[in-house]
Structure 1
Amino acid sequence: MRITRRLGLAAIARHPRTTPATSSRQPYAQAPRSSRAPAHAPLLSVVLPRFSRPSLCSTSPRTPPTSPSRSPRRSSRSPRRLPRLGRDLVPTAAAQLAVSVHEYLSGPLGPHRIYLALTDGPDGRTLHYAWNATTAAFDPAGPLTLDEAMGVYPFGMVMPLQDLIGIVRGHVQVWDVAGTTARFWNIGRPLDSLAYGLFAVYGEHQRPDLAARSYAYALAHLDAQPSR
């Protein structure tokens, strides 16, 4: 069993039960070791230093800051949206695979199969949740580092709280977040990722109301064009 994290490319390999599970970090990409420099070597010299250090990748929220009247007190209410997200995840490939898995790196799994961390919450805190396969609800979970969470939960995602608020309010489209500020890991196929789960829940084919709202929001916030 091998798990690949989209940002950082941390891989965890499962060994036989007699051997404890181990983890290691690998860079995003590696330059070819051939003595003959490839034609794209100049490009690699620019790209590799950036992607070999995940800390350089921006995780700033894509959603504009909430208005002072909504922050931070109103923003702390956003976890109330999680019950619907938990239920909407049920028919996705990620949730279907999650409920079918009964053992993971640390041993037999309990009801919690999907980890969710919302960063930059009230007072700068990170909010931790775990999706319960028996209730389809996100229950509060103990704080974990990203590497620890990958070793405990077979599925997970980490994103700024502000971006989740932006998605459910229609201020930003889900793909603007899923491919940038959000981090995912999963077992199984790439299509079993929670990134595709979010597309299934919040994509414009499923929520055309959010898509229409996001377009209206973007148009309303376009910078004025300079006069000629």
Structure 2
Amino acid sequence: MVKKHIVPAILVKKKSDLVKKLRGAAPYCQRVQIDIIDGKFANNKTIGPKSIKGVRTKLKKEIQLMVKDMDKYVDAFIKQKPWMIIFHIESCKNKKHVDELIKKIKKAKIKAGIGLSPKTPASKVKPFLKKIDLVLVMTVKPGWGGQKFIKKMLPKIRQLRKWDKKIDIEVDGGIKPGTACLAAKAGANVFVAGGAIYKAKSIKSGVQQLKNDVRCMT
């Protein structure tokens, strides 16, 4: 069985907010997801590569790229050596482009993940499952935190887990106690949450509540 992870989501416009959220999560988690949105892929804009450069943390950094010009952003973040880069398949021209991005990221000794927006079928990522470390299923429309979990994404998660028993399947969007359990039962093992962690009574309690919730299968 694949190991379960709770991952705080950081979607911010200012470097100071990034630093604050990294410090808050550091005692309770092993990794964090930083969302990068260019204002073109989705109707929002966050901090970019320059704001993250030089920010130190003991947390492993997952960079989720919700951008149109994927090559530009992948190249910029490879230089920063994060733990993982997740790129959205919707911004790729074709299968060859996807393969090129995977190879480029892996060559830099960085883990590679592919993100799927709600309208993108699981079949789009199937040819690449053995080449990547993680597949991200967006359970809300990309762009903003605080949206409602889309239950129609559960069959997509089930299908991915049926195809690959070992790959990390990450869910992002509307993840909180209750929806985290639904995603876990469908086959997800990495749970990205923003409000459920940072707006909880404390970050520690928010993380613990999610850990308890994803144990619903046992």
Answer yes or no: same fold by TM over 0.5. Answer: no
Larger Rg: 1
With structure 1 as the length reference, what TM-score do the two structures score?
0.26
